[in-house]
């Protein structure tokens, strides 16, 4: 089942994804998944 377009990554998941991207030992697949999650983060309204 595909995600609807209005679903976004939570702040907690985005934080975890950021840690994966900064980890030099993370695999390429893990970094790809993390980047995908971060691409779906909703910007905060200022």
Residues 3-22 pLDDT 10s:
556 778 888 999 999 999 99
Other C-beta atoms closer than 10 Å to the C-beta of 20 total 18
Task: Say if 20 falls within a structural domain.
Answer: yes
CA distance 40 to 42: 6
Query: pTM of the full predicted structure?
Result: 0.72
Residue 46 has pLDDT above 80, yes or no: no
Q: Is residue 3 a part of any domain in this protein?
A: no
Count of domains forming the chain = 1
Q: Of 7, 26, 4, 44, give the one whose Cα is nearest residue 18.
A: 26
Query: What per-residue confidence (pLDDT) applies to 19?
Result: 97
Q: Tell me if 19 is assigned to some domain.
A: yes
Per residue in 19-37, pLDDT tens? 999 999 999 999 999 999 9
Look at residue 1 and tell me if it is in a domain: no
Which residue range is the domain that position 17 belongs to? 10-41
8 A C-beta contact, residue 21 and residue 34: yes
pLDDT of residue 8: 80
- Domain annotation covers residue 16: yes
Residue 41: per-residue pLDDT = 83
């Amino acid at each position: 089942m595909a995600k609807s377009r209005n679903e976004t990554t939570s702040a907690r998941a985005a934080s975890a994804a950021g840690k994966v991207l900064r980890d030099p030992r993370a695999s390429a697949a893990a970094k790809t998944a993390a980047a995908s999650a971060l691409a779906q983060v909703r910007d905060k309204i200022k």
